[in-house]
Amino acid sequence: MITVTEALDAIFKLVGPLGTENVRLAEAAGRVLAAPVIATRMQPPFAASAMDGYALNGVEADPEAMFRVIGESAAGHGFDGRVGPGECVRIFTGAPLPEGTNRVIIQEDTDRKGNLITLARKLDKGPHVRPAGADFKPGDTIPAPRVLTPADLALAAAMNVPNLTVTRKPVVALLATGDELVMPGEAPGPDQIIASNSFGLKALIDANGGHARMLPIARDNADSLRTAFELATDADLIVTIGGASVGDHDIVADVAAELGMDQSFYKVLMRPGKPLMAGRMGDEAMIGLPGNPVSSMVCGHVFLIPALRAMLGLGASAAPRKTARLAHDAAQNGQREHYMRARVDGDQITIFDSQDSALLSVLAQANALAIRPASDPARSAGDEIAYLQI
């Protein structure tokens, strides 16, 4: 059996950055920027007022000095003339500073009578002016690759770039297998359960930049599985769920091999998730997840999300690990790296007692997967251990 690191490296050999497409700003949130955004203008394009008040020449701004108001500069409607000694212009936030001015006195510090203002006895330092290009200049960039945040999109809009080049979303075909499965909302027979894994995995994939497509459930026979695989040929990645172990009905590996799957590995030294497999099927990468609900989700965090990030051009790296202090003693670990459902509060981590890989209710209470390395000795309360945030 290979280690988690070796398995992840093998998966990185199966996937690589996808092509790009252009999307409008309004559709770009959360997408991965593939080419830098380059500003085509300066912001602000002129020295602009940061306050509502009066624009004047700062050297004249003595306490209680008087000025004649000769016009107005509003956002979108500047003042055309020049401001001379003893003169000022009524100005509003965002408006261009008129020629001859370099300071704005906030209106609270003025007393206006007709066309005359008198400055207050105490004035703040000001100058309440945003210099031209203070935010960005032509040629300034938003670097790629990066996951586009709301702030990035506001900045790209201000830069007057209406379309962005992003990495195509990886299409992931989710193929659940098993005679026991029916879809949520259907009436299960006495020996049946509800297919749950595809829903958790779809959420995980979609939240991490992919587009998950759920295929019809394949039954535990070769014909049904073959038909389902054929529906997945347009995907970048096929993810099967279940049928991966050694039972008589676990036929995913056999059918995939018959369809030409070139297997990279089968079985990983981890818990849960041991019967994981991966390989290449034609143009597509294929990852076979174990059926136990928690095993499939743990493999989603440990392998699928990093694979998606690699396809999105965000680099080939393992899920980031954090550390916290154990809130209790923990027994020594076995020979497989163990990903244990846990709860992190502040800098403390509490590992749940029940770790059966069928228990989704325990996964739903967890916000972390505590990682116990293979053969890790017993640990004491207060020891630092690694975890994945989930």
Ligand X SMILES: Nc1nc2c(c(=O)[nH]1)N[C@H]1C(S)=C(S)[C@@H](COP(=O)(O)OP(=O)(O)OC[C@H]3O[C@@H](n4cnc5c(N)ncnc54)[C@H](O)[C@@H]3O)O[C@H]1N2
CB of 214 to ligand X, least distance (A): 10
Cα(384)–Cα(326) distance, integer angstroms = 6
Site for ligand MOO contains 271 (CB under 6 A):
yes
Looking at 49, 101, 292, 333, which residue binds ligand X (CB under 6 A)?
A: 292
Q: Closer to ligand MOO at the Cβ: 290 or 306?
A: 290
Place of tokens 């979303």: 169
Length, in residues, of the chain = 390
Cα(260)–Cα(33) distance, integer angstroms = 34
Q: Count the residues of the shown chain that bind ligand MOO, applying the rule CB under 6 A.
A: 8
- β-bridge pairing 337-345 and 348-351: antiparallel
CB of 291 to ligand MOO, least distance (A): 8
Q: Which of 298, 309, 286 is nearest to 207 (CA)?
A: 309
CB of 276 to ligand MOO, least distance (A): 8
Chain centre distance of CA 247: 38
Secondary structure element (H or E) that encloses residue 54, with its range = strand 53-56
Write the binding mask 75 to 114 for ligand X: x where contact by CB under 6 A, - elsewhere. ----------------------------------------
* H helix runs in the chain, sequence order: 4-14, 150-158, 197-207, 222-230, 252-258, 293-299, 305-311, 360-365
The CA-based dihedral angle spanning residues 82, 83, 84, 87, taken in that order and rounded to the nearest 10 degrees:
150
Q: Closer to ligand X at the Cβ: 176 or 344?
A: 176
Site for ligand X contains 241 (CB under 6 A):
yes
Site for ligand X contains 300 (CB under 6 A):
no
Cα(311)–Cα(18) distance, integer angstroms = 6
Looking at 53, 98, 273, 288, which residue binds ligand MOO (CB under 6 A)?
A: 273
Q: Closer to ligand MOO at the Cβ: 168 or 274?
A: 274
Cα(174)–Cα(239) distance, integer angstroms = 5
Q: Closer to ligand X at the Cβ: 210 or 275?
A: 275
Q: Closer to ligand MOO at the Cβ: 128 or 341?
A: 341
Q: Which does 246 bind (CB under 5 to 8 A by kind): ligand X, ligand MOO, none?
A: ligand X
Tell me the three state secondary structure of residue 16. coil
Site for ligand MOO contains 295 (CB under 6 A):
yes
Instruction: Give the interface segment with ligand X, choosing from 67-75, 153-161, 205-213, 289-297 (CB under 6 A).
Output: 289-297
Looking at 245, 263, 348, 355, which residue binds ligand X (CB under 6 A)?
A: 245
Please give the residues from 308 up to 367 whose contact with ligand MOO meets the rule CB under 6 A.
357
Secondary structure element (H or E) that encloses residue 122, with its range = none
Q: Which residues contact 27 (CB under 8 A, 6 or more apart)?
A: none
Interface residue list for ligand MOO (CB under 6 A): 271-274, 290, 292, 295, 357
Interface residue list for ligand X (CB under 6 A): 176, 178, 180-181, 193, 195-198, 241-247, 250, 272, 274-275, 290-293, 295, 357
